[in-house]
Amino acid sequence: MSDFNDVTETLKIYFDALYYCDRDKLATAFHPQAIYATADETPLLYRTMGEYFPIVAARESGASRCDVRRDIVDGIEFAGENTAFARVRCSIGQRSFVDFLTLVREANRWKIIAKVFQIVESNQ
């Protein structure tokens, strides 16, 4: 159960980082070599953490707008001792997302190594 709780804690940090547009929290949740990608843009959008973090930090935060949080963990699966997958949903402003997050355990900490997401209709 500890691994499940530890992954859940990483996901909480991830959701907080997005809601507060907090670069330091992002760095806590993500592995430094993580990838960020979506096929919702043409060509396929791919970013490194060095490209992604400043974009989030420059946003107006949901917290500053008093947005209602809609952070949902649909499921967490483990492939073994050091690899996990989470399907999560959240909203940022008027956009809602389904994120597929792959996590790895490194030095006894779970970190997101890949974020692949889809923009969805708000009611999903």
pTM above 0.85, yes or no: yes
First to last CA, the chain: 29
Phi and psi at residue 123, to the nearest 5°: -85, 5
DSSP string, 64-94: HHTPPP--EEEEEEESSSSEEEEEEEEEETT
The set of residues, in sequence order, having a beta carbon less than 8 Å from that of 76 and lying 6+ positions away, is 4, 7, 8, 11, 84, 85, 86
- At 1 the pLDDT is 58
Residue 97 sits in which domain range?
Answer: 2-120
Question: 106: burial class by Cβ within 10 Å (0-12, 13-18, 19+)?
Answer: exposed
Domain count, the chain: 1
Neighbours of 2 (CB within 10 A): 6
**Confidence band, pLDDT 50/70/90 cuts, at residue 54:** very high
User: What digits encode the pLDDT tens for the residues 55-92?
Assistant: 999 999 999 999 999 999 999 999 999 999 999 999 98
Neighbours of 109 (CB within 10 A): 14
The CATH number for 109's domain is 3.10.450.50
